[in-house]
Structure 1
Amino acid sequence: MAFKDTGKTPVEPEVAIHRIRITLTSLNVKSLEKVCADLIRGAKEKNLKVKGPVQMPTKTLRITTRKTPFVKKKNNSVPEDIAEISSIKI
């Protein structure tokens, strides 16, 4: 069999692009920023495009508990934890 030259360059098959979105939630802002920095550094070492981190609105976690075993409407306490949310696109 002989190879026919058609004048066209061979076309490489297109590689599928995978997009990743990572959403991190933490009560400790310092640890959240550290993990974001580690993820971004690792992605840039592999020459990946990185968008972020993007600060998302904070969520206030409210858990209502009884102060006493007796039922009174005023004896409820509401401790609040504020969760920081961050999103990274790779």
Structure 2
Amino acid sequence: MAFKDTGKTPVEPEVAIHRIRITLTSRNVKSLEKVCADLIRGAKEKNLKVKGPVRMPAKTLRITTRKTPFVKKKKKKEKKRRGRNVKRRSLN
């Protein structure tokens, strides 16, 4: 089979770019930062582009309880637990 010369240079197909977003959640900041550093180090060893870690707002764990021992739907109290904040980091 013979090919015709069209005068155009052959064009290679474009490589698809995969984007990955990893969101890490923990109550312990030290372990969260360690895992982020390990992921970034591994990605840079493979020559991948990394953005992050992006620090997201902490969420406070809230527990809703009844004010009285009797069942009344309107009487609810919300407690905020100290030290139960959930920290999050995002890597792109």
Same fold (TM over 0.5): yes
- Structure 2: stretches of 5+ with no match in the other structure: 75-90
Question: How far 1:3 sits from its partner (Å)?
Answer: 3.4
Matches of 2:43 and 2:55, distance apart in 1: 19
Question: How far 1:14 sits from its partner (Å)?
Answer: 1.1
Question: How far 1:62 sits from its partner (Å)?
Answer: 1.9
Q: Under a length normalisation based on structure 1, what TM-score does the superposition of the two structures give?
A: 0.66
- Structure 1: stretches of 5+ with no match in the other structure: 75-88
Report the identity percentage. 93
Matches of 1:9 and 1:45, distance apart in 2: 35
Matches of 2:43 and 2:67, distance apart in 1: 48
Q: What's the CA shift string for 1:44-70, capped at 9, x where partnerless? A: 111111100011000001234689979
RMSD: 3.2
Q: Under a length normalisation based on structure 2, what TM-score does the superposition of the two structures give?
A: 0.65
Matches of 2:50 and 2:2, distance apart in 1: 47
